[in-house]
Amino acid sequence: LILASKVQSVSTMAKEEQNVGNVKQQLAKLFESALNATVPNEPDVEPLVAACTAKFGDYQCNNAMGLWSKIKGKQNEFKGPPAVGQAIMRNLPQSEMVESCSVAGPGFVNVVLSKNWIAKSLQKMLIDGIDTWAPRLAIKRAVVDFSSPNIAKEMHVGHLRSTIIGDTLARMLEFSHVEVLRRNHVGDWGTQFGMLIEFLFEKFPNWEDVTETAVGDLQAFYKASKQRFDSDPEFKEKAQKAVVRLQGGEERYRKAWAQICEISRNEFNRVYQCLGVHIEEKGESFYNPYIPEVLKELTSKNLVEDSQGARVIFIEGFNIPLIVVKSDGGFNYASTDLAALWYRLNEEKADWIIYVTDVGQQQHFDMVFRAAKRAGWFPAEDNTYPKASHVGFGLVLGEDGKRFRTRNTEVVRLVDLLDEAKSRSKTALIDRGKDVEWSEEELEQTAEAVGYGAVKYADLKNNRLTNYTFNFDQMLNDKGNTAVYLLYAHARICSIIRKSGKDVEELKNTGTIVLDHADERALGLHLLQFSEIVEEGCTNLLPNVLCEYLYNLSENFTRFYSNCQVVGSAEETSRLLLCEATATVMRKCFHLLGIVPVYKI
């Protein structure tokens, strides 16, 4: 009952808060009144507005056909869909946004936007700031569960993908005024800790003073303890007892556990620091105390049943059940996720809970979400909140087309990977003489921005569901769809502005943008579409749409710059402002992608 009152439809809230940056939304509002005037007896027609792919206009309204099939049996004055389209066009309210309209084919209403209006909107953004273009989403608070490596085990490239994708989604949502709880759901609970703790005691009698350096590589430590566990029955028994003592809260065991977690945490933090990722740890152990109550609730709702000594939830459409209590009485990954979901809904009051893991965990999340739905934690309809979404992603492949691994070790250490990207980009900068031209600090910072940016962008530009091949040469190429190319494009625009010798801050208030040349207009329109692209990226949880937008922006700019002289032309002021608007939008894209912009090349 309490949950039910929280349920809000996406569209009702979207109407309350209009976003000035979103062209599509503003046109939809105009078409809404056109539709009301055209078919007053059909009050609930949602306007369908989309950017045009054809050359008839910039945007189109696609309601005529659907509307026709709705009204054709009933009494009406129309002969067919094109006539409905004509009427919608006639009823479109006067607006400074619109230059002209036409009806095409079976009733599409095409809109050509006014170039003066586009220019004015850009200018307003330059003065008021790009945050005025932030999308307005229908939710207040989201949990993004990402990165989430396992203590003492390797943090592999899958975790890198989760970290990069999750961070970008969080950034896009934060930009869109959503409060985001960035959650690191680390695997810090489970039976492996018995073995790790006993091994720690054995190897380091003075374990309380042991630091990272003494343990060395925690992965190697894990492997060694596993070997001991598998080969020595006496050790194995001790380890199994240790789990019970740990979970029973015995002081010495809790302390050793915390120590191991801390060592891992330091390792993870190095990666987060390189990547500029902020994340808050609430590991599996945190939810452990909530599990019994949550299972009690699910049991009382008749969801949980006995099966071969275990307690399970059967879910329609799946041939295996979700195990929530193992046959030895212990809890598992699924019981933890159910408790975490309960906590996020009821304690953290999240409207949208987003999980970023490889697609291999899709079924697990499908089942957890379905169980939650059966328990009444989520509304029955799909497009209402609260809601949970699994953001799956594909594999990172090596040159051999197999799962990415280095030659000698089995897994790629993420810190090494990032270090290499940085050092390669540094070498490229030195080859171009930048070590002479720049200070050591500038060189270092640029190498970092370019190197880390390249790794992130190479990941984010793909549709997340597809596998991609990790290739340093490709991602660090300064041509093609890479971060390097884009960062350089941005730096070049900054240098055009610098070299003009003009004060753009002053021009923003004194100058006027004019979009007479076709390439100026195309660039202006593309800039104006930033907001709806971010909104689309948020709604569909797809960072690649933002990458595609950014790449196209850069191409639009190149076309403009090769066909329109900027410095020294009669249109210099307007064109400098267009350069500034492009640089501003590019920087916001970089920011949302977690890439640090560079200003010099």
Q: Name residue, tokens 């949970």.
A: 388
- Measured from the CB atom, the residue of 235 and 333 that comes closer to ligand ARG is 333
CB of 150 to ligand ARG, least distance (A): 5
Closest residue to ligand ARG using C-beta atoms: 148
Interface pick for ligand ARG out of 21, 57, 135, 187 (rule CB under 6 A): 187
Is 192 near ligand ARG (CB under 6 A)? no
**Residue 150 or 481 having the CB closest to ligand ARG:** 150
Cα distance from N-terminal residue to C-terminal residue, the chain: 59
Query: For residue 502, what is the enclosing H or E element?
Result: none
What one-character DSSP code corresponds to residue 193?
A: H
**Where are the extended beta strands (E) located within 57-139?**
59-61, 98-104, 108-113
Binder of ligand ARG out of 58, 337, 459, 535 (CB under 6 A): 337
Cα dist. 20→26, 272, 578 in Å?
7, 35, 19
- Least spacing, CB of residue 146 vs ligand ARG, in Å: 8
Buried b or exposed e, range 529-564, using 16+ CB within 10 angstroms: bbbbbbbbbbeebbbbbbbbbbbebbebbeebbeeb
Record the tokens describing residue 396, joined without a space: 């990172």
Secondary structure in 3-state letters for 13-39: HHHHCCCCCCHHHHHHHHHHHHHHHHC
CB of 363 to ligand ARG, least distance (A): 12
- Comparison of 98 and 340: residue with beta carbon closer to ligand ARG: 340
Q: Can residue 357 be called a binding residue for ligand ARG (CB under 6 A)? A: yes
Window of 147-155, 505-513, 557-565, 577-585 that interacts with ligand ARG by CB under 6 A:
147-155
Distance CA 75, CA 339 (A): 56
**Which residue, 275 or 525, has its beta carbon nearer to ligand ARG?**
275
* Cβ distance to ligand ARG smaller for residue 155 or 534: 155
| Per-residue binder mask for ligand ARG (CB under 6 A), 5-44, x = binder | ----------------------------------------
Residue 128, number of CB atoms within 10 A of its CB: 11
Cβ at position 365, least distance to ligand ARG in Å:
8
Task: Compute the least distance from the CB of residue 524 to ligand ARG, in Å.
Answer: 42
Sign for the pseudo-dihedral over CA of 197, 198, 202, 208: positive
Nearer to ligand ARG, 158 or 543 (CB): 158
Report in angstroms how near the CB of residue 378 gets to ligand ARG at its nearest: 16
Piece in contact with ligand ARG (CB under 6 A), picked from 148-156, 474-482, 535-543, 578-586: 148-156
- CB nearer to ligand ARG: give 148 or 446: 148
Cα 349 to Cα 284, 301, 375, distances in angstroms = 19, 22, 17
Residues 6+ apart with CB under 8 A from 560: 517, 519, 520, 522, 523, 578
CA atoms of 42 and 49, how far apart (whole Å): 18
Cβ–Cβ < 8 Å for 325, 338 = no
- Which of 145, 188, 448, 520 touches ligand ARG (CB under 6 A)? 145
For residues 221 and 151, is the Cβ–Cβ distance under 8 A?
no
**Part in contact with ligand ARG (CB under 6 A); list of ranges 10-18, 126-134, 144-152, 491-499:** 144-152
Q: Please choose, out of 23-31, 145-153, 234-242, 305-313, the segment that lies near ligand ARG by the rule CB under 6 A.
A: 145-153
CB of 229 to ligand ARG, least distance (A): 20
- Is residue 185 part of the contact set for ligand ARG (CB under 6 A)? yes
Q: Which is nearer to ligand ARG, 56 or 343 (CB)?
A: 343
What is the spatial distance between Cα 575 and Cα 594, in angstroms, rounded to a whole number?
28
**What are the structure tokens assigned to 236, written together?**
């194995």
Tokens 């303890």 belong to 225
Question: Site for ligand ARG (CB under 6 A): which residue of 76, 86, 150, 500?
Answer: 150
Give how many residues touch ligand ARG by CB under 6 A. Answer: 10
> How many whole angstroms separate alpha carbon 502 and alpha carbon 583?
16
Which of residues 145 and 351 has its CB atom nearest to ligand ARG in the complex?
145
Interface stretch with ligand ARG, choices 15-23, 28-36, 123-131, 146-154 (CB under 6 A): 146-154
Measured between alpha carbons, how far is residue 229 from residues 173, 201, 223, 267, 333 in Å? 45, 14, 10, 24, 22
Which is nearer to ligand ARG, 24 or 344 (by Cβ)? 344
Between 337 and 535, CB nearer to ligand ARG: 337
Helix, strand, coil shares, percent, the chain, to 5: 55, 10, 30
Query: What residues between 536 and 565 interact with ligand ARG by CB under 6 A?
Result: none
CB of residue 77 to ligand ARG, shortest distance in Å: 57
Per CB under 6 A, does 148 bind ligand ARG?
A: yes
Eight-class DSSP state of 490: H
Ranges within 78-137 binding ligand ARG (CB under 6 A):
none
State which residue, 362 or 423, has the beta carbon closest to ligand ARG: 362
Question: Of 253, 355, 468, 560, which lies in the binding site for ligand ARG, with binding defined by CB under 6 A?
Answer: 355
Nearest one of 170, 186, 190, 145 to 368, comparing CA atoms:
145
Nearer to ligand ARG, 148 or 192 (CB): 148
* Shortest distance (Å) from residue 222 CB to ligand ARG: 14
How deeply is 480 buried, as exposed, middle or buried, from its count of CB atoms within 10 A (0-12, 13-18, 19+)? exposed
Q: Which two tokens stand for residue 431?
A: 């080859």
**Closer residue to ligand ARG, CB minimum distance, 198 or 337:** 337
What is the binding site for ligand ARG (CB under 6 A)? 145, 148-150, 185, 187, 337, 340, 355, 357
